């Protein structure tokens, strides 16, 4: 009985090793796919991080301007939002075709 038990354990071990190898291959494939899918977000985040000091300074200046001239700040912010909306519409229209 010990020989058949040994043989069954060896077969089971081989099956488990094959299963582990397949799982490793799948994991490597999925990780490559994940990196490909998240690459645009990573690039965007890195770009944002490089401009972080300028954004901090610009937002501080915008805050001071908004405190000193609230009405003009409101009008300028509405214009900027409208411009971004127009850019988004144009971009979506161009990329659809």
- Domain locations in the chain as residue ranges: 1-40
CB-based contacts of 62, cutoff 8 Å, min separation 6: 73
Structural tokens at position 4: 């058949």
CA distance 96 to 64: 41
On average, the pLDDT of the chain sits at 91
Q: Which pTM was predicted? A: 0.47
Angle between helices 52-68 and 70-96 (to 10 degrees): 140
Closest CA to 73 of 85, 86, 59: 59
Reported as a single tens digit per residue, the pLDDT across 34-72 is 999 999 999 988 988 999 899 899 999 988 988 999 999
pLDDT at 18: 97
């Amino acid at each position: 009985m010990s020989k058949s038990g040994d043989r069954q354990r060896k077969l089971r071990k081989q099956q488990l090793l094959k299963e582990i190898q397949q799982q490793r291959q799948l994991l490597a494939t999925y990780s490559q796919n994940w990196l490909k899918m998240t690459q645009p977000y990573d690039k965007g985040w890195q770009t944002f991080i490089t401009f972080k000091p300028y954004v901090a300074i610009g937002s501080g200046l915008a805050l001071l301007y908004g405190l000193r001239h609230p009405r003009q700040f409101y009008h300028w912010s509405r214009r900027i939002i409208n411009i971004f909306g127009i850019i988004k519409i144009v971009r979506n229209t161009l990329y659809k075709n």
